[in-house]
């Protein structure tokens, strides 16, 4: 657990100790402890910033890493999670293929490679769970959680037979999206934080290019199959699109999604998929593996 800085995000992000004059919090030392599957694996006194690390052999099974802060009035911020020298991000991009060599719906082949709540892509989402007074907080932050004395931070993860790590639990994606499906299992694996593409919160759909936008659907009429040019990807309205993001039919029933067909309902959604497709043409996401 890297850089468990005290208190305020802006202060801690610049690495200032709690005793610095520009830090309004009291100068306190915080005893932070890590346990893995019930066994203590690391402990340190944090005054300013610190890294807690450990080595272990992981079995193919579910595991739980718990961080506690036993002293201090204000607590610490768990800044990021690393495996080896790699900062971990959560991804559901090609989840079935990565974790078990299976097939993925086209939707999961075109979803954004990594989750981030930060438009600057500094921080990333990995869904730690905070337990307070014996119960998990429903509104705990999905990243960089504050950890106060007496509370516990839980990270539940699974090691697969191919040494990939995934988050044991399921997490909903964007519940405000028109494509959100409350019945869809949202599983994520841990990947190396990429430098070749920003996190989903920082993606600008207007950067999508290399397609003929002049013939795009303008919302004034129903989708028109006669506009389809199989050699040129373009958005011509709600419907089913293929792996090249060429319009296939006017079906908007996402239960008909396949490995090479997906329903897209808006130009915004199409642009996001196009950015991921063009990124994937020359880039890849590296899963974190452990032995």
Residue 264 has pLDDT above 50, yes or no: yes
pLDDT of residue 181: 65
pLDDT class of 277 with cuts at 50, 70, 90: very high
Element (H, E) at 269: helix 267-280
Lowest mean pLDDT among 66-75, 119-128, 145-154, 204-213: 204-213
Give SS3 for 254: helix
> Region 132-138: what's the mean pLDDT?
86
Q: Contact, 48 vs 7, CB < 8 A?
A: no
Higher pLDDT among residues 3 and 117, named by residue: 117
Kindly state the tokens that stand for 53.
């690390």
> Region 47-52: what's the mean pLDDT?
83
Listed residue (166, 135, 170, 138) closest to 151, CA to CA: 135
Higher pLDDT among residues 247 and 18, named by residue: 247
pTM above 0.95, yes or no: no
Higher pLDDT among residues 132 and 34, named by residue: 34
Give SS3 for 185: coil
pLDDT of residue 203: 83
pLDDT of residue 179: 61
Q: What is the pLDDT of the chain when averaged over all its residues?
A: 82
Query: Using one digit for the tens of pLDDT, what is the confidence trace for 79-119?
Result: 888 999 899 999 999 999 999 999 999 999 999 999 888 88
Listed residue (79, 87, 7) closest to 47, CA to CA: 7
> Region 63-87: what's the mean pLDDT?
86
| Count of other CB atoms within 10 angstroms of residue 177 | 12
User: CA dihedral defined by 190, 186, 95, 176, rounded to 10 degrees?
Assistant: -90
pLDDT class of 144 with cuts at 50, 70, 90: confident
pLDDT of residue 3: 39
Close Cβ partners of 24 (under 8 Å, ≥ 6 residues apart): 8
> Region 7-15: what's the mean pLDDT?
45
CA distances in angstroms from 191 to 42, 125, 226, listed in the order given = 23, 12, 41
> Region 181-205: what's the mean pLDDT?
84
> Region 20-45: what's the mean pLDDT?
80
> Region 252-269: what's the mean pLDDT?
91
């Amino acid at each position: 657990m890297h850089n468990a800085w005290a208190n305020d995000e802006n202060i801690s992000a610049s690495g200032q100790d709690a005793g610095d004059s520009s830090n309004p919090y009291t100068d306190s030392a915080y005893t932070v402890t890590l346990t893995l599957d019930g066994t203590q694996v690391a402990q340190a006194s944090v005054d300013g910033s610190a890294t807690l690390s450990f080595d272990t052999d992981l079995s193919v099974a579910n595991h739980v890493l718990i961080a506690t802060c036993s002293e201090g009035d204000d607590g610490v911020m768990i800044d990021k999670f690393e495996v080896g020298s790699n900062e971990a991000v959560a991804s559901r991009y090609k989840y079935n293929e990565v974790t078990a060599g299976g097939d993925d719906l086209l939707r999961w082949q075109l979803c954004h490679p990594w989750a981030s709540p930060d438009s600057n892509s500094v921080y990333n989402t990995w869904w730690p769970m905070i337990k307070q007074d014996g119960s998990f907080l429903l509104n705990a932050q999905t990243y960089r959680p504050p950890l106060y004395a007496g509370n516990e931070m839980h990270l539940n993860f699974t090691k697969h037979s191919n040494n990939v790590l995934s988050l044991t639990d399921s997490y909903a994606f964007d519940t405000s999206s028109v494509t959100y499906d409350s019945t869809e299992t949202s599983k994520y694996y841990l990947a190396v934080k990429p430098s070749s593409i920003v996190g989903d919160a920082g993606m600008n759909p207007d950067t999508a290019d290399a397609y003929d936008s002049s013939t795009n659907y303008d919302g004034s009429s129903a989708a028109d199959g006669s506009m389809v040019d199989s050699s040129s990807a373009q958005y011509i309205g709600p419907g089913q699109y293929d792996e090249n993001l060429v319009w296939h039919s006017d079906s908007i029933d996402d239960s008909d999604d396949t490995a090479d067909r997906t329903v897209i309902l808006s130009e915004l959604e199409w642009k996001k998929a196009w950015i991921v497709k063009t990124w994937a043409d020359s880039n890849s996401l590296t899963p974190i593996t452990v032995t």
